[in-house]
Amino acid sequence: MEIESLLSQYASETRYEDLPKETIEIIKDVLLTVLGTTIAGATAEGCEAVVKQAREWGGKKEATILIHGGGVPAYNASLVNSFMARALDFCDAMSPGIHIGSSSVPTALAMAELMGGCSGKDFLAALVLGSETAARLNLPRSTYDGFDPTGVCTVFATAVIAGRMLRLNSKQMLNALALVFNRSGGSFQSNVDGSLAVRLIQGFVSQAGIVCAQLAQRGLTGPQNFLHGVYGYFHLYGKGAFPPETVTSELGKRFEMTKVLFKKYPSCGGTLASTEVMLALVKEKGLAPENVSRVDIRVVPYIYKIVGHPFKIGKNPKVNAQFNIKYCVANVLLRKSAKLQHFDEPHIRDPRILELIEKIHITADAELEKRGHNTACEMTVTAMDGRAYHKRLDVAPGFPENPLTREEQDERFRDCIDYSHGLLPRENIEKIVSMVKSLEEIEDVSLSMVPLLVRPEALEAERDHNHLNPTGGLK
C-alpha cells in the first residue's frame, strides 16, 4: 500500500507554493481552453436534453449549470458542464486519448460553489494536483486496448480535485481514490460509433469524482491496494506492463501533467496530423478539390482503429465527423481551414465533401510506430494529371513535442467565442480572460467567475425567482 499512501499524501498535502510556475501557467491554459469550449459547446446536440434531465432530477441547489443557469447538486452540475465542455472535442487532451480538463475544470467550479467559495490559489492547486494524479496513472495505448482513457483514468483527477476542495486528509484521500477506482470504465466504441456517450463519459467522470470524495469524507472505505493489488488498477488496466514505481517517482519534481495537448483543430487528436498535412499541401501546392484524383494516408494502427474507419453519417453527424480522418481531410481540402462551424451538420452533409471522401484511403502501418509518436502519418496526394505530392508528419501540432504558438492558442479561443454567436456578452469574455491570467490573486473563484459564465437573461431569471443572491452565488 506504499504507492497508494504516497500518492494520496501528495495529493492532499501539497500546497500551491510547492508547485512550479510552469505547472500553474499550463493549468491556466487548460482552464481558459475548457471555458472556451464550454461556451462554444453549450448548445451542441444533446446539451439541452442533459440540462433538462439534471433540472428534473432536482435536489439541493449546490452548484450552477453554466451558460444555461440554474442550481442543482454539485455532482449533477459537473455532469452537465463536462458534457458541454467536451461537446465540440476542441478541449485539451493527452496521449493516448485521455481528456482531463473537460472534467477537472467543471468539477473544480462545482466544488468551489458547494464549499461556499475557493481562493484562486487553492483552485489552481487542486487542478494541478488532480491533473498530475491522472497523468501519472495514464497508461500506454496498448494497455488500454479499447477502454476509453478518459473514463478509466480521469476519474482519479476529479476525485483529487473534489477531495482537495473538501479538505480531505491523506487517509480520506486514499479512500476517495480507492472508491473512484471502482467507477473506472468506458469504451472507445462510443467514439467509433459516433455516439453522444463520448461526452457523457466525460460527465460520468466528474460526477464519480465528487460522489466518491463525499463518501470518503463520510468514512466510506475503498480497497486500500487499489493500484498494485492482485485485482488492482495495474493488473486490470495496466495488464502487468505498467511499472508501479513510476507513479510516485520524483513526486513534486517531475510533472507529467505538462505533457498536455492543446488541439489546433476541433476534432479528435487522432485526426490532427492528417488535417495538418493536407492543409500544408493545399497551401504549398495550391491543391484544389477538382484537381485531386486520390489521397492515400498511412497512420499507426492505434489511430486507424479510432478514426480511420469509413465515414458514415449516423444519428450524431458532428461526432461522426470529429472522429474520422476522411472527413477532416476532405474538409480542409475543400474549405482550406478547419473551424468549429465545419463540423455542423449542413457542412457535414455537403455533397462536395461526400464526393471527396470517396477519394481518400486510410491504411494502418505499424512501421510508423518507429517514428516514436502515436500521431505519425504519411500522405500521398495524386493529382488528375498524374503528379504525386508526398508529405509526412511525425508529431501532430499541439502536442508537447510540437506545441502551439501563443497566437495559435489565442486563435483557438477566439474560434470558440465566435462560434458561440454572442451567447455571453463580450464584456464577460474579456473579464474571464483577464481573471484567468491573474487567478492566483482572486479571493473567491466561484463568486467572481461563475456569474460571468451564465447568460445574463438566465442569471436574471434565477434572481427573480430568488434562487440566486445578487452576487450570483447559490444560497
How far is Cα 323 from Cα 300, in angstroms, rounded to an integer?
15
DSSP code per residue over 140-208: PHHHHTTB-HHHHHHHHHHHHHHHHHTT--HHHHHHHHHHHHTT---BTHHHHTT-THHHHHHHHHHHH
What are φ and ψ of residue 71, in 5° steps?
-105, 135
Task: Give the number of other CB atoms < 10 A from CB of residue 56.
Answer: 8
| Amino acid 461: pLDDT | 77
Taking only the tens of pLDDT, the chain with its 475 residues reads 699 999 999 999 999 999 999 999 999 999 999 999 999 999 999 999 999 999 999 999 999 999 999 999 999 999 999 999 999 999 999 999 999 999 999 999 999 999 999 999 999 999 999 999 999 999 998 899 999 999 999 999 999 999 999 999 999 999 999 999 999 999 999 998 999 999 999 999 999 999 999 999 999 999 999 999 999 999 999 998 888 889 999 999 999 999 999 999 999 999 999 999 999 999 999 999 999 999 999 999 999 999 999 999 999 999 999 999 999 999 999 999 999 999 999 999 999 999 999 999 999 999 999 998 999 999 999 999 999 999 999 999 999 999 999 999 999 999 999 999 999 999 999 999 999 999 999 999 999 999 999 999 988 777 766 444 444 445 4
Among 226, 128, 118, CA closest to 166: 118
Q: Where are the beta strands (DSSP E) in 325-387?
A: 360-364, 377-383
310 phi, psi to nearest 5 deg: -55, 150
Supply the DSSP symbol for 401. T
Please tell me the predicted confidence (pLDDT) of residue 467: 46
269-393 adopts what CATH topology?
Answer: 60s Ribosomal Protein L30; Chain: A; (3.30.1330)
Q: What is the pTM of this model?
A: 0.93
Q: What pLDDT is stored for residue 469 in this prediction?
A: 46
Would you list the domain boundaries of the chain? 2-262, 269-393
Residue 397 CB neighbours (<10 A)? 22
Tell me how crowded residue 343 is: count the other CB atoms within 10 A of its CB. Answer: 26
Contacts of 234 (CB under 8 A, 6+ apart): 227, 228, 240, 242, 244
Task: Give every CB contact of residue 218 below 8 A, 6+ residues apart in sequence.
Answer: none
> What is the model's pLDDT at position 474?
57
Cell numbers at residue 177, please?
481514490
- Superfamily covering domain 2-262: 2-methylcitrate dehydratase PrpD (1.10.4100.10)
In this predicted structure, what is the pLDDT of residue 464? Answer: 61
